[in-house]
Amino acid sequence: MSELERWETRYRPPDYLFGKEPNAFLKSQASRLRPGQKALSVADGEGRNGVWLAEQGLDVLTVDFSDTALAKARALARERRVTIATEVADLTSWRWPRAAFDVIVAIFIHFEGAERDTFFANLKAALKPGGLLLMESYRPAQLDYRTGGPPQVDLMYTREILQKAFGDFAELDIREHDSVISEGTAHVGMSALIDLIGKK
């Protein structure tokens, strides 16, 4: 089964796998956001984060390779009476816009090796100068918690990996922490997390 088929299968049931509420780290960064900003939410899945950004007044493009997830994202936007643009695309081959976004949000999207290097380079290039990147991911210690996330250590992010990729940002704050999260049925319990707040 391909990675896309795996996600389509996970998203097919009508419930929201990661819930309808925004990621707690993203929500904690609300004071950095301004209505009217152009935002990209990558690998946004069923849209809980993109829809929340739209509720804060941002102009949101939500991208994911799962058509099924994005249909649910649009349904959530309708339920919350906001508008989001959605695009079905594989982020490893997407024609990424350049210097186009004030804010990019990347919550629990893990790549490894060359795909990760390209993904990080594309995130940076898609931000306007001064643009804000908000990212939350799992650290290798998550493999012991088994409360969500991919089962391969190579997919996990560390301070060194993020520092190397985003060390040239004008502002960079990387925080490693173990915290209890509750996101639908897929991310539940104590989790080894790494947050990045960066300005290009």
Ligand X SMILES: C[S@@+](CC[C@H](N)C(=O)[O-])C[C@H]1O[C@@H](n2cnc3c(N)ncnc32)[C@H](O)[C@@H]1O
Which amino acid, residue 13?
Answer: P
Report d(CA 18, CA 9) in Å as an integer. 14
CB of 60 to ligand X, least distance (A): 13
Q: Which two tokens stand for residue 17?
A: 């796998």
CB of 129 to ligand X, least distance (A): 25
Decide whether 154 or 167 has the Cβ nearer to ligand X.
154
Decide whether 18 or 166 has the Cβ nearer to ligand X.
18
Report d(CA 81, CA 136) in Å as an integer. 26
Decide whether 45 or 131 has the Cβ nearer to ligand X.
45
CB of 35 to ligand X, least distance (A): 22
Which amino acid, residue 44?
Answer: D
Decide whether 50 or 198 has the Cβ nearer to ligand X.
50
Q: Which two tokens stand for residue 121?
A: 């380079």
Binding stretches for ligand X (CB under 6 A): 3, 7, 18, 23, 43-45, 48-49, 64-66, 69, 90-92, 107-109
Name the residue number minimizing CB distance to ligand X.
45
CB of 170 to ligand X, least distance (A): 25
Decide whether 7 or 166 has the Cβ nearer to ligand X.
7
CB of 174 to ligand X, least distance (A): 19
Q: Which two tokens stand for residue 191?
A: 């989790």
Residue 186, Cβ density class (10 Å: 0-12 exposed, 13-18 middle, ≥19 buried) = middle
Q: Which of 51, 78, 47 is nearest to 63 (CA)?
A: 47
Report d(CA 37, CA 31) in Å as an integer. 13
Report d(CA 143, CA 46) in Å as an integer. 24
